[in-house]
Each structure stands twice: as C-alpha cells, then as structure tokens.
Homo-oligomer: A and B are copies of this chain.
Amino acid sequence: MSPVTAHFTALDVHDVRFPTSDSLDGSDAMNPNPDYSAAYTVLRTDAGDSLEGQALAFTTGPGNDLQIRAIEGLADWVVGRSVEQVLSDMGAFSKELIHEPHLRWLGPEKGVVHMAAGAVINAAWDLRAKRAGQPLWQHLALLEPEELVSLVDFRYLTDALTRGEALEILEGMKATRAEREERLLKEGYPAYTTTPGWLGYSDDKLDRLAREAVEQGFTMIKLKVGADVADDVRRMKVARAAVGDGIRIAVDANQRWDVGPAIDWMRALAPHDPYWIEEPTSPDDLLGHAVIRRAIHPIKVATGEHVANRVVFKQLLQADAVDIVQVDAARVAGVNENLAILLLAARHGIPVCPHAGGVGLGEMVQHLSMFDYVAVSGTWEDRVIEHVDHLHEHFVTPVRLERGRYRAPLAPGGSGEMLAASVAQHRYPDGPVWTARRS
C-alpha cells in the first residue's frame, strides 16, 4: 500500500568501474590510463510505484570513492523529504543543494561537491520524468516557459542573461515546439564519433575506424591530439585520407597546452583542415581560449566538459572565447545548471555540442540537446552530440544511433539507469570483474 504522501527513503551510491585502461579506449594526452567509472546514484522512495531516480557522476577510476562519499554526504538533504514537494520545485531544490554554505565552502560550485549535487539533481529529474511517463527531453520540452525559468539559478548571470531575457527566448520557441518534436522523432539528432581517434590507437586502426565511421553515416569524426606534434600531423593525414574532404575532423587536446603552444600546434595541423580544436588549454583559462581563437581562425575553438559551472560558461561567451559550447551531463550541477548554460548559449547564438564519452554520458546528455532543439535554440544547424561506441550495453535504455544520428529516446526518464547485472559485475572492488583480475 502506498502512503498518502511519498517520501525519499534512500540515496544509494554504487562504485561501478570498467577496466577500460586495458584496451586504451578513452586514452588521451592527459588521461593515459582511465578506468571509466560511475558514482552511480539511486534515489528511492516509499511511493510504492517501483520507480527510482537514477543518474551518475563520471570519473576515471581512482577517486571514484571520493566522489561517492561526496554524493552520500547529500543524503541528509534528500532522505525523508516529500517526493512531491521536491520534484514540484526543482529550482528551489537545486539552489538549496548548491548554496548550502558549508558545502559551498568546498567549491564554491566546482569539483567534487558540485558534481555530487549534479548527480542528485539528475537522479531527481530522472524520477520526475519517469513519474510523468515521459523521456526527459520531452518532459522538459513540454514545460511552460515560466516553469523553465523558475528552474534556473540566475545568481551571477544577470549581467549576461536576465530572467526576462531567458523567458523571451523560451516564449519565442514555444509556438513551433511541436513541429520540431515531430521532426526530431522522425530524423534523429546529428551525431559525431570519437571512436576512431583515441591516442593509443595505431594508424591502421585509425584508418579503418575512420572509414567505418563514414560508412555508418557520420559526417564528423574526432581525433585526440597533443602528445607529439609530428604524430598528430601524421594521424591527421591518415584520417583525412580515410574520410575525404567532405567530412569534418575535429581534434581534441584535453587541456594539454599553454596558449602559445596551442597556437603553434594548430597551425601545424591547419593544412589538413581541422574543424574545431577542443580543450586546447586549461578549462579555467577563458582569456587564453579567446587569444587562441583569434589566432587560429577559421579553425573553431570548443570547450566545456571540464568547465566548472555556469559562471565560467558565461564568461567564455562574454569574452568571445569559444565557437562551440560543450555541455556535460555530469560535470555541473545537473539539468538545472545545464538549462542555464543552454540559455546562455542561445542568447549568444553559439551552438551547443555535448561531451558524451565516458560511461553513460551520452545516454544522459542526449536529452539536453534534444530539449535544446525543441524548446531553446530551435535548431540543430552545426550542432552534433558526441558518440563513443563503448559501454552502452550496460544501460537499460542505451543510446540508439542510426545513420550518424541519435534516435530520440522514448522510454520514460533520463536514460541513466544501469542494468543491475552490470552494476553487480563491475562493483569496485568486490565485483567479479575486479576480483577476477586480482586472482
């Protein structure tokens, strides 16, 4: 029997790790041996409807335990509270988690505590969308503009985006939402693939995977760069020869360079027509990104997967430092802060192309781009969601790619739910995948 008012009963966090460092999947100039890992977060209630809220924070292995501890530390802010009250005012809930003074001291609004808030907020959104019986992108895209702006924390944003300006953007898209939703369901959202380009791959493997990507319908691929310039020029040639001139090739330095070296390196790659350079330097260095962008025009500059919060995104846009904003589902404080970032980008006319490597990030972030298309920017021109072809099999509703495009998820929720068997198998350190490696 379900109680009259449901309450949150538990915030469970699981340490789930995949031994991806074995195959150098995911290897780049700054992360030579990542074990893609999830601080997998499950919000439970006593509603009696068997629905749970699932989401994750993503890490690269060691340190996942610290991320888990940070999420567990938020249990007191959730457990025992009315499910209806929390879910019906997600703006208030997210502000409460983010501005709690003692946790704020440990950021503010950055790093482990901020990602922890993001995991809990995303889990709550997953539950809310499931209760509504809608995929998250659609659930968001059905909200009134007034409710959407109530979700946004405008603190520190008002010199770049006011509540009124945000409302205007959303109101302007409302009348045509339905036709874009229909088109999205029919055509899917454009994607690009990073699968060919990991730094640890041989030239042959790069060549083969790049050709396969084009055959699969992708119109853009991405290469990791930044370890050795001669290698990168050679790999860029291999990739260009494999895909031809009609396909975009983005490159990604994963923060490897200082400003000067970034410019020099990109000039060396320029003859092979790179489309964007991603994370050329520190994600904190917005002024550095602006200098690089001016120096390497017309090559575009992209960043965001490690940008700590909406305040830094605001400045990247104010300083004309980027051509492309890369949101990450799990780096900032969840759906609410990402909504702020989508609105900032729309206000500046800058395309959002999400980061979606790792584990589960594609599953979660696709909802943001699809919502953006239907209700915020209203376009997918020059917008692509990253796709990396691994670890999707561990999710209940994995991403579906067809001819280089993400099919819109139809299942209720935010798609962050993992298979129970996958969680059990990869639980660290006591799951069978890990115990077998030590025996």
**Are B288 and A309 interface neighbours, CB within 8 A?**
no
**Are A59 and B106 interface neighbours, CB within 8 A?**
yes
A283 interfacial contact with B, CB 8 Å: yes
**Are B110 and A67 interface neighbours, CB within 8 A?**
no
Interface range, A side? 35 or more
**Are A306 and B108 interface neighbours, CB within 8 A?**
yes
Closest to A159 in B: B259
A158 surroundings in chain B (CB, below 8 A) = 258-260
- How many angstroms from the CA of A111 to the CA of B107 in the assembled complex? 5
Assuming the A-B contacts A158-B258, A158-B259, A285-B156, are A63 and B59 also in contact, with contact meaning beta carbons closer than 8 angstroms in the complex? no
Assuming the A-B contacts A260-B159, A284-B312, are A112 and B108 also in contact, with contact meaning beta carbons closer than 8 angstroms in the complex? no
- How many angstroms from the CA of A109 to the CA of B284 in the assembled complex? 9
A333-349: contact bitstring with B at CB < 8 Å (1 yes, 0 no)? Answer: 00000000000000000
Closest to A261 in B: B158
Task: Report which of B108, B157, B258, B259 forms a contact with A283, defined as CB distance below 8 A.
Answer: B108
A102 surroundings in chain B (CB, below 8 A) = 34, 59-63
**Are A286 and B315 interface neighbours, CB within 8 A?**
yes
Please give the distance in Å from A200's CB to the nearest CB on chain B: 14
Assuming the A-B contacts A30-B101, A159-B288, A291-B159, are A106 and B63 also in contact, with contact meaning beta carbons closer than 8 angstroms in the complex? yes
- How many angstroms from the CA of A285 to the CA of B255 in the assembled complex? 20
A155 interfacial contact with B, CB 8 Å: yes
Copies in the complex: 2
Assuming the A-B contacts A33-B101, A315-B285, are A113 and B110 also in contact, with contact meaning beta carbons closer than 8 angstroms in the complex? no
A94-127: contact bitstring with B at CB < 8 Å (1 yes, 0 no)? Answer: 0000000111111111111111000000000000
**Are B113 and A63 interface neighbours, CB within 8 A?**
yes
- How many angstroms from the CA of A241 to the CA of B66 in the assembled complex? 50
A150 interfacial contact with B, CB 8 Å: no
Please give the distance in Å from A420's CB to the nearest CB on chain B: 26
Please give the distance in Å from A340's CB to the nearest CB on chain B: 13
A106 surroundings in chain B (CB, below 8 A) = 59, 63, 66-67, 111-112, 115
- How many angstroms from the CA of A433 to the CA of B110 in the assembled complex? 32
Q: Which of A75-111 contact B (CB under 8 A)?
A: 101-111
Q: Which of A134-193 contact B (CB under 8 A)?
A: 154-159
Please give the distance in Å from A99's CB to the nearest CB on chain B: 8
**Are A70 and B284 interface neighbours, CB within 8 A?**
no
Q: Which of A241-299 contact B (CB under 8 A)?
A: 255, 258-260, 281-288, 291
- How many angstroms from the CA of A70 to the CA of B109 in the assembled complex? 17
**Are B101 and A308 interface neighbours, CB within 8 A?**
no
A319 interfacial contact with B, CB 8 Å: yes
A32 interfacial contact with B, CB 8 Å: yes
A312 surroundings in chain B (CB, below 8 A) = 284
**Are A287 and B319 interface neighbours, CB within 8 A?**
yes
A63 surroundings in chain B (CB, below 8 A) = 73, 102-103, 105-106, 113
**Are A112 and B70 interface neighbours, CB within 8 A?**
yes
Q: Which of A36-89 contact B (CB under 8 A)?
A: 59-63, 65-67, 69-70, 73
A101 surroundings in chain B (CB, below 8 A) = 30-34, 60
A318 interfacial contact with B, CB 8 Å: yes
- How many angstroms from the CA of A418 to the CA of B62 in the assembled complex? 31
A70 surroundings in chain B (CB, below 8 A) = 66, 112
A288 surroundings in chain B (CB, below 8 A) = 156, 159, 315
Task: Report which of B33, B69, B287 forms a contact with A69, defined as CB distance below 8 A.
Answer: B69
Please give the distance in Å from A330's CB to the nearest CB on chain B: 11
A258 surroundings in chain B (CB, below 8 A) = 154-159
- Counting from the closest, the 6 A-B pairs by CB-CB distance are A111-B111, A62-B102, A159-B259, A284-B311, A156-B282, A112-B112
Given A285-B311, A287-B319, 15 other A-B residues pairs in contact with their CB atoms under 8 A? A30-B101, A59-B105, A60-B101, A62-B102, A62-B103, A63-B102, A63-B105, A63-B113, A107-B110, A111-B112, A154-B258, A155-B258, A156-B281, A284-B311, A288-B315
Residues of A within 8 A of B (CB): 30-34, 59-63, 65-67, 69-70, 73, 101-115, 154-159, 255, 258-260, 281-288, 291, 306, 308-309, 311-312, 314-315, 318-319
